[in-house]
Amino acid sequence: MSDVQYFTFSLFGLLIDLVASVYLVQVIGAKVKRSMSKTIQYSNEPIGDLKLMPDFLPSPEELALKQQNTKVTISLSSESVAYFKDTAKKHHMQYQKIIRQLLDEYVAHQKSAKSGKG
């Protein structure tokens, strides 16, 4: 295939792609995304003073250890359950987890208060 024929064939293929794209946009209302529209410009400037932050994340061993939970059946007022469900929804959590954490905090506070009186 000569260069002229290949160039004509390539232009024809490009034209068909362009027409097909425009047609699809008109038919289905699709938006054509332009990738890489913004160019990132990097510079070779110094970053500045860096501050080393202490590691505040728990160790893998601490993450792996789950507290053993005991299932219980408890009757709560409708008002309390509604409050916990509403709070959980706002924070994208499970309401049972919020109740469990509240009780755990209460127990920890009571234990520390008793050990301080001792």
Residue ranges covered by each domain of the chain? 1-32, 67-117
Query: Given the structure tokens 């699709």, which residue do they identify?
Result: 30
What confidence tier does 118 reach under pLDDT thresholds 50, 70, 90?
A: low
DSSP state of 112: H
pLDDT higher than 80, residue 47:
no
- pLDDT (0 to 100) of residue 9: 44
Q: What integer is the mean pLDDT of 84-94?
A: 92
> What class is the 67-117 domain?
mainly alpha
CA distances to 42, 43, 52, 86 from 47, rounded to whole Å, are 12, 10, 14, 45
CA distances to 29, 67, 103, 105 from 100, rounded to whole Å, are 49, 11, 5, 9
pTM of the predicted structure, to 2 decimals: 0.44
DSSP state of 58: P
Instruction: Please indicate whether residue 77 or residue 117 has the higher confidence score (pLDDT).
Output: 77
Q: What integer is the mean pLDDT of 31-46?
A: 71
Mean pLDDT of the chain: 75
pLDDT higher than 60, residue 29:
no
The pair of three-digit structure tokens given for residue 55, joined into one six-digit string:
């590691």
What confidence tier does 84 reach under pLDDT thresholds 50, 70, 90?
A: very high
- Whether the Cβ atoms of residue 89 and residue 98 lie closer than 8 Å to each other: no
